[in-house]
Amino acid sequence: MKIAIIIPARLASTRLPNKLLLDLGGKSVLERTYLSCQKSGIQDIFLAVDDEILEKEALKFAPKEAVFLTKKTHPSGSDRIYEVAQKIDFDAIVNVQADEPFVDPKLILDIAEALKQGSGMVSAKTPIKKTEEYFSPNCVKVVTDKDGKALYFSRSPIPFCRDEFEALKNAWEKDKEMNIPQNISAFKHLGIYGYQKEVLKTFTETPSTDLEETEKLEQLRILSLGISIQMIETAHSSLGIDTQEDYLRAKALSL
């Protein structure tokens, strides 16, 4: 099976403008993500950019044939990826977000292996350690079945701990740094995906659903189609860069 990595990259960002061009230890966020992908050992890595400014940046470190200038109008990274996927000859794709400079190379390989074993779509989860993440809408939670297949994704706290919810929320409001109690098993969804090419095609050709629009989570479209998403558990919680605070933490890690 031929597997490629595609990094979808969009210049505009509401919370942190031009974040992919920000400096991390002498290299841009975009380049750092590309270099982390290279550490996986997967040879074929492509960048799907939406602007000439990002194209110019990508050509500083990636070969010309690996950089694709895509339409600006794509509603999601998956749609941007599919535009490129139609132009290259690969059976499956690993989608690594461009703002994930610390993505775990081993996780990329684990996702590729799950695709080789026949999973139609694969993603990843990591245990939530801080109560802050459990309550934060910016931290997407996932619950799975006994085989590790996703049942639902939400920005709300799931699983909802009925008997302890109010006490937990009150305790967290007094101590924002508190760890989540050990008896609460909650998982954060990591924004890395693997798809068989046909699954990606089906996804992009299907209109968004009401549930997807309500939660603002495109992966819910896949679940609504009855397609399973195999979740790989990892202890490595990658630092995506969405805010100025994220960027400052990333800069500290790059020193």
Residues 6 or more apart in contact with residue 112 via CB below 8 angstroms: 3, 40, 42, 92, 94, 194
- What residue numbers bound the domain in which 212 lies? 124-189+207-237
Query: Residue 14 pLDDT > 80, yes or no?
Result: no
Count of structural domains, the chain:
2
The two tokens of residue 21 are 């061009």
23 with 88, same domain? yes
For 114-137, how does the pLDDT look when each residue is reduced to its tens digit (9 = 90+)?
A: 999 999 999 999 999 999 999 999
CA 235, distance to chain mean position in Å, is: 15
Residue 253: its pLDDT value, please?
82
The two tokens of residue 80 are 């941007």
Please check whether residue 199 lies inside any domain of the structure.
Answer: no
For 46-103, how does the pLDDT look when each residue is reduced to its tens digit (9 = 90+)?
A: 999 999 999 999 999 999 999 999 999 998 889 999 999 999 999 999 999 999 999 9
155 with 217, same domain? yes
Residue 75: its pLDDT value, please?
85
Give the C-alpha separation, 58 to 122, whole Å.
27
Q: Which CATH number is 137's domain given?
A: 3.90.550.10
Give me the mean pLDDT over the 211-225 stretch. Answer: 94
Query: Residue 255 pLDDT > 80, yes or no?
Result: no
Please check whether residue 16 lies inside any domain of the structure.
Answer: yes
For 178-188, how does the pLDDT look when each residue is reduced to its tens digit (9 = 90+)?
A: 999 888 899 99
Query: How would DSSP label each residue in 106-133?
Result: HHHHHHHHHHHTT-SEEEEEEE--BHHH
For 148-173, how does the pLDDT look when each residue is reduced to its tens digit (9 = 90+)?
A: 999 999 999 999 988 888 888 888 88
10 with 74, same domain? yes
Name the average pLDDT for the chain: 93
